């Protein structure tokens, strides 16, 4: 089967040296770089904006998987494209016109994703399934790293796997929040094709990044073999 994408969330990185941290996770085997953007309004935390992302862009060639936890969102999309995002994910609740937002993202030449909060039904993406490149299932409430995986989201992941396969859409199914070597196997078995991991990648400091990513890949391989 296709290799699962691992997208470390730099929310758990050392913000005093983000460029170096990105080079380290690139070397450690990250497939994508997950960038969490928070506005202190849609979620109760604040992180970084497009200027920082632009500055980080020179530190890796790996795709920037930009998760926008901001509302309203439309007015800011272009700035994130200019900053170097390869994929922009917006929350289903981020604006009144999800389809329009997705059209805007794709019209600017980048991939478009929709994020679903734990209480958001999976059916929200059904009408736009052919207008997206990725679905991001939040397995914690957005806003903070280091939270515990919500097991009830596994059914949602499985339902979305059914939706994607049923209509033959080319959509990545990514899961974000509390993903570690203990939960990754269940997430894979439910049908995910990409994992975001913050705490699980950055715990232990730079010397542990490669073994942390390898540990996630090993958990995925044993879950795959047990399948």
Binding site for ligand DX5 (CB under 6 A): 9, 11-12, 34, 36, 67, 140, 142-143, 145-147, 176-179, 196-200
Give least dist CB 176 to ligand DX5, A: 5
Angle at 195 between CA 67 and CA 30, to 5 degrees: 90
Give residue for tokens 């790293």. Answer: 145
User: CB nearest ligand DX5: which residue?
Assistant: 198
Give least dist CB 85 to ligand DX5, A: 15
In the chain, alpha helices (H): 18-27, 50-56, 77-83, 98-107, 153-167, 184-190, 199-202, 209-226
Please tell me whether residue 227 adopts helix, strand or coil conformation: coil
Which among 17-25, 118-126, 168-176, 181-189 is the span making contact with Zn ion, rule CB under 5 A? 168-176
Please tell me whether residue 79 adopts helix, strand or coil conformation: helix
Number of residues that bind Zn ion (CB under 5 A): 3
176 lines the binding site for Zn ion (CB under 5 A): yes
Which among 36-44, 162-170, 200-208, 219-227 is the span making contact with Zn ion, rule CB under 5 A? 36-44
Decide the pairing of beta strands 111-116 and 134-138: parallel
Q: What share of the chain is helix, strand, coil (3-state, %, to 5)?
A: 45, 20, 35
Give least dist CB 140 to Zn ion, A: 9
Residues known to be catalytic:
36, 176
174 lines the binding site for Zn ion (CB under 5 A): no
Rounded Cα distance between 54 and 113, Å, is 20
Residue 45 vs 221, nearer CB to Zn ion: 45
Which among 50-58, 122-130, 176-184, 218-226 is the span making contact with Zn ion, rule CB under 5 A? 176-184
Q: 67 to 86, contacts with Zn ion by CB under 5 A?
A: 67
Alpha carbon of 15 to those of 18, 80, 135: distances in Å? Answer: 5, 19, 27
Residues of this chain that bind Zn ion (CB under 5 A) = 36, 67, 176
């Amino acid at each position: 089967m296709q290799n699962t994408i691992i997208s470390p969330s730099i929310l758990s990185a050392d913000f005093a040296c983000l460029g170096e941290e990105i080079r380290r996770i690139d070397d450690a085997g990250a497939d994508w770089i997950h960038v969490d953007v928070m506005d202190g309004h849609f979620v109760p935390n604040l992180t970084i904006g497009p200027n920082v992302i632009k500055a980080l862009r020179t530190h890796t060639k790996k795709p920037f998987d930009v998760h926008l936890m901001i509302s309203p969102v439309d007015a800011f999309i272009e700035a994130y494209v200019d900053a170097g995002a390869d994929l922009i994910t917006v929350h289903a609740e981020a604006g009144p016109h999800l389809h329009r937002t997705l059209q805007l993202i794709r019209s600017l030449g980048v991939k478009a994703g929709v994020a679903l909060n734990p209480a958001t039904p999976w059916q929200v993406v059904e009408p736009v399934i052919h207008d997206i490149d990725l679905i991001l299932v939040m397995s914690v409430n957005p806003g903070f790293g280091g939270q515990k995986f919500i097991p009830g989201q596994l059914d949602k992941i499985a339902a979305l796997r059914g939706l994607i396969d049923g209509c033959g859409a080319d959509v990545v199914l990514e899961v974000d929040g509390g993903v570690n070597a203990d939960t990754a196997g269940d997430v894979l078995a439910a049908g995910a094709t990409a994992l975001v991991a913050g705490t699980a990648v950055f715990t232990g400091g730079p010397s542990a990044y490669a073994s942390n990513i390898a540990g996630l890949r090993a958990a995925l391989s044993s879950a795959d073999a047990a399948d």
